């Protein structure tokens, strides 16, 4: 799988531990995502910006993406940075949806 193929995916409603990715599959997908790290039961990346407006524009784009995919990250942001973290609480860890959305965030930066 490639990063563009991952970003072309569509999130689906998931529930239960049967949809949780194992460590090997998670590591394989994480390798496609530059700058992202496994942070326990989530994948996360901190993005840097030049000013508050750029940061806020990014936060709003990620929020729109999350609404379209019906999969929502935890985001913490300040003047010139934003940390985005994806996890699927309904499966108790990481699912394919988290990696799809992280790839879509990467695509936002390339647009």
Taking only the tens place, the pLDDT of each residue in 27-72 is 999 999 999 999 989 999 999 999 999 999 999 999 999 999 999 9
Identify the three-state secondary structure at position 11.
Answer: coil
Domain 19-110 superfamily per CATH: Transcriptional coactivator/pterin dehydratase (3.30.1360.20)
Taking only the tens place, the pLDDT of each residue in 18-38 is 999 999 999 999 999 999 999
- The domain ranges of the chain are 19-110
Sequence-ordered list of residues with C-beta below 8 angstroms from that of 47, at least 6 positions apart, any chain: 58, 81, 82, 83, 84, 109
Q: Determine the Cα–Cα distance for residues 43 and 29; give it in Å rounded to an integer.
A: 11
Q: Determine the Cα–Cα distance for residues 39 and 18; give it in Å rounded to an integer.
A: 21
pTM listed for this prediction: 0.95
pLDDT for residue 111 = 65
């Amino acid at each position: 799988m490639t990063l563009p193929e991952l970003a072309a995916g569509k999130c689906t409603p998931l529930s239960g531990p049967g949809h949780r990715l194992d460590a090997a599959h998670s590591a394989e997908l994480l390798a496609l995502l530059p700058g992202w790290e496994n942070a326990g039961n989530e994948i996360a990346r901190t993005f840097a910006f030049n000013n508050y407006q750029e940061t806020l524009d990014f936060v709003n784009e990620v929020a729109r993406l999350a609404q379209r995919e019906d999969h929502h990250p935890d985001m913490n942001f300040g003047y010139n940075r934003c940390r985005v973290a994806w996890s699927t609480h309904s499966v108790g860890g990481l699912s394919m949806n988290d990696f799809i959305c992280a790839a879509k965030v990467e695509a936002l930066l390339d647009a």
